[in-house]
Amino acid sequence: MAVSEKDCLFCKIVRKEIKADIVKEGNSFIAIKDINPVEPGHVLVIPKQHYTTLLDIPDRLGEEMLKFAKQIASELLEKKLGDGFNIIMNNLEPAGQLVMHAHIHIIPRKEKDGIRFFVKVLGKK
Ligand code: AMP
Ligand code: ZN
């Protein structure tokens, strides 16, 4: 369901109406620590303008967003928060999107960290 900019959680974080642990801030994006991290160092890259999903983000901004995400990911490796990383984006509710303001998850990974994504539960529809 679409959410107005006024009521949107991530817009409120961008406007600094709600506190967040900001990792990096640029002209068009903000990176914050996820409040419920899969692993320490789990970061969300959020466009400052409100877009619901990846498909709503203009191509040019999408390229910039990936560039911004790459910076965060390389810093994560430099800081040894992980030896690898996943970049994940949930788009719309069936894909697990809970906050309807487009964002990219960057999740640090280590060998045998026990994290598994995209496990299909057999028999579950
Ligand atoms: P998604 O399922 O892709 O929409 O993920 C939303 C993410 O936002 C989840 O990983 C939440 O833990 C995270 N989240 C929710 N509220 C906050 C908040 N106030 N500050 C930081 N991260 C949040
Ligand atoms: Zn928003």
pLDDT digits 0-9 by tens, 64-73: 999 999 999 9
What stretch of H or E contains 31? Answer: strand 29-33
What pLDDT is recorded for position 118?
84
- Please tell me if the CB atom of residue 99 comes closer than 6 angstroms to any atom of ligand 1: yes
The total of structural domains in the chain comes to 1
In this structure, which residue's CA is closest to atom 16 in ligand 1?
Answer: 35
- Secondary structure letter of residue 50 according to DSSP: -
Residue 6 located in a structural domain: no
| Domain extent for 64 | 14-109
Domain presence at residue 123 = no
Which pLDDT score, from 0 to 100, does residue 121 have? 82
Nearest CA to ligand 1 atom 12: 36
Report how far ligand 1's centroid is from the alpha carbon of 35 (Å): 6
- pLDDT > 80? residue 123: no
Residue 97's pLDDT band, with cuts at 50, 70 and 90, is very high
Ligand nearest to the CA of 97: 1
pLDDT tens-digit series, residues 7-56: 999 999 999 999 999 999 999 999 999 999 999 999 999 999 999 999 99
**Beta sheet of 43-47, edge-to-edge order:** 22-25, 29-33, 43-47, 104-109, 84-88
